[in-house]
A and B are shown apart, each in its own frame.
Chain A
Amino acid sequence: MIVKLSVKGLHFSYGSAEILQDINLDIRDGQVVSIVGPNGSGKSTLIKCIDRILTPSEGEVVVDRQKVSGMKQMELARMIAYVPQNSLRVFPNTVFDVVLMGRRPHLGWREDARDEQKVWEVLGLLGIEDLALSLFTELSGGQQQKVLIARALAQETGVILLDEPTSNLDVWHQIDVMEILRTLVRSQDLTAIIAIHDLNMAARYSDTIIMMKSGKIFAAGRPEDVLTRENLASVYAIHARVRNYDGIPHVIPLKQIPRKRGRV
């Protein structure tokens, strides 16, 4: 198997606080990879370090055997796309304009017919052509998420990073977004790396799960190997049952494990 993206000895700190410590990863081509972990465990930070939105203090990210640190931001934008958790809404953009932004790393000064065609193509791929002239801010959460995914697709990268794409959505739309992602990874030759809170969504749609705890990788592997009672107890401090259903592990959280005295 080809390694699409690897992270080597990555450290990141805000001031004196180390957020990420010695992260090492090899992610294969054509996979859905979920990063799970409690709040503050470093999921989003790791994703931002991979796309160099944040600059790691140590370590290296390698995409398609090229070091990210040696690339210009524009070159990197042709290899990795990023879907943020929420989008700023100061000024209203149409859906078409939002998706066209994804063409920026491929543009000269003017967009040509090919760029526009690409936008229509990805809008069609996600079945949201009809929204093209609507304002992004007027869409529902699920539609907005699809538009942001469309923008990442328009970027024509091999890797897509997503920061909690399902966190503001109802169950129907959570499944919708995850189905879309899995379909795209299979059909468009992509690798998706998703920071996600919902363990059952992660279990169901991922090839690999990376579980983080306090800035370190605690466990990584297939969902059934990572989502175990013991791991949930030490990472999330919860008692949980894990049931296998259709060959997919399902986590049923039961109760918190009381924290040690002195830490409230």
Chain B
Amino acid sequence: MRRGSKRAGVNLKRARTGKLPKIQQEHSHAAWKKVVFILALAGVIVLATGVIITIGPIPITIAEVYCTVIDQFVPGIFSIESMITTVVWQIRMPRIAGAILVGLGLGICGCVMQAVLKNPLASPFTLGISSGANFGVSLAAVFGITILGGPYFLVGNAFVFALLCSGVIIGLSGLKGATSETMVLAGIALNYLFQAMNQLFSYIASDEQRDVMRIWGMGSIGGLNWNSILVIAVVSMVCLPLLYSKAWDLNLMTVGDEAATSMGVNAGHVRIFVMVVSSLLVAALVAFVGVIGFIGLVAPHVARLILGSDHRYIIPAAGGLGAILFLFADVIAMNLFSPSTIPTGTVMSVIGVPFFLYLILRGRRKEYWS
């Protein structure tokens, strides 16, 4: 019994002398590196925005881009040609802002869904939420069944059916004996069901209707304007802080519901809260941009591979990585076969999958998949 208390005494004394043992220094060093990494991600996003906007038929310098953006919020500092303002702010910026917001939201939602469902395969796409939205669009396109009128009728349908899908998954968690595996399997099953329905619809659809479904199904941010971005931004600003506020509880939930409960976290409540909030955000995102499959699965994994599994770090990192991934995929989609564009979702899978395979096969954390 003396051995134990003596050791504690030694340790406290060491701390009091002000000089930390080597392992403690290493630990605080590692924590700093994580913060720096997240800040670097933010830096890359800002830089990439500046560079990407200059790409196009009308020549613009990077400095002009930043001046235009600042001018939108604090007018009068710089004098900018109205033509440049129009190109930067009205034509090119919405696409960039959309890519950042969608990538950020999908990355973070994938990250928190994986944590609460304790499953590395969980993502907005694999759980069928995107397919649900796609089904809503097909309903509108083929049968004219719409929930919202006006120009946003596709968006309304997509949103409602995305929520319907996650509603079923969340509803299952209330059943007796339902585990997080039940929820994941139900999501995957729903994904197949909606995909089958979509195929059925496209079979009976006219060419024109099939085009609407096909384009929407491939996912694109080309249709975004400042109004739709405002909607996405507002939903994000509500949902993302709510999700981040659960970072600590998510850490505990990855070691199991019973352990989490014993440390004071009601695992069931947190799971439902996180699923509801993230489903809302995902529904809003996919309603505007269509099926984007890859980010929600991969951005969180890349964040985990680099930063470990503390959600206070990997939630922002997954968001940042998602935004960067989407930005770069979109640049390639826009410019590779310019002037014709390829769907962003397609590009992302083509460049993202080899990169992802490289990361997981490099094997630094190979026990990850065991």
Contact = CB atoms under 8 A, between A and B. Distances in A.
A107 B259 CA distance: 17
B74 interface: no
A89 B370 contact: yes
B308 to A, nearest CB: 6
B332 to A, nearest CB: 31
A129 interface: yes
B88 to A, nearest CB: 38
Given A104-B249, A120-B24, 5 more contacts: A51-B262, A92-B365, A102-B263, A117-B15, A124-B10
Q: Give the one of B8, B26, B254, B365 with max A CB within 10 A.
A: B254
A105 interface: yes
A81 interface: yes
A263 to B, nearest CB: 28
Nearest to B256: A88
Contact of A48 (B10, B12, B258, B368): B258
A186 interface: yes
Interface residues of B, number: 46
A125 B2 CA distance: 11
A57 interface: no
A98 interface: yes
Q: Which 7 A-B pairs have the closest CB atoms?
A: A77-B264, A82-B262, A124-B11, A74-B264, A88-B256, A105-B264, A186-B1
B8 A121 contact: yes
B120 A77 contact: no
Contacts of A130: 23
Given A93-B254, A98-B255, A133 B309 contact: no
Contact of A91 (B2, B23, B368): B368
Contacts, number: 132
Contacts of B4: 125, 180, 183-184, 187-188
B11 A120 contact: yes
Contacts of A84: 256, 258-259, 262
Interface in B264-288: 264-266
Contacts of A74: 264-265
A98 B256 CA distance: 12
Nearest to A113: B15
B304 interface: yes
6 contacts: A53-B262, A73-B266, A74-B264, A121-B8, A121-B12, A124-B11
A155 interface: yes
Contacts of B199: none
Contacts of A87: 255-256, 259
A183 B23 CA distance: 25
A24 B37 CA distance: 55
A52 B267 CA distance: 13
Contacts of A98: 255
Contacts of B351: none
A171 interface: no
B261 A53 contact: yes
Interface of B: 1-5, 7-8, 10-12, 15, 21, 23-24, 26-27, 30, 114-115, 118-120, 245, 248-249, 251-252, 254-256, 258-259, 261-266, 304, 308-310, 365, 367-368, 370
B256 A101 contact: no
Contacts of B262: 51, 53, 77, 80-82, 84, 161
Query: Which of A84, A88, A132, A137 has most chain B Cβ within 10 Å?
Result: A88
A138 interface: yes
Interface in A167-221: 180, 182-184, 186-188
Interface in A14-61: 48, 51-53
A126 to B, nearest CB: 8
Nearest to A76: B264
B317 to A, nearest CB: 14
Nearest to A72: B264
Nearest to B119: A90
Contacts of B120: 90-91
A124 B7 contact: yes
Contacts of A127: 7
A89 B120 CA distance: 11
B15 A82 contact: no
A82 B260 CA distance: 10
A132 B23 contact: yes
A59 B115 CA distance: 34
B263 A120 contact: no
B251 A97 contact: yes
A238 interface: no
Contacts of B266: 73
Given A93-B308, A133-B30, A135-B367, A105 B263 contact: yes
A93 B259 CA distance: 14
Nearest to B9: A124
B15 A91 contact: no
Contacts of B304: 91-92
Contacts of A125: 4, 7-8, 11
A31 to B, nearest CB: 14
A74 B248 CA distance: 13
B14 to A, nearest CB: 9
- In this complex, the member of B2, B8, B114 whose beta carbon has the largest number of chain A beta carbons within 10 angstroms is B8
Contacts of B10: 124
Contact of B309 (A52, A53, A75, A93): A93
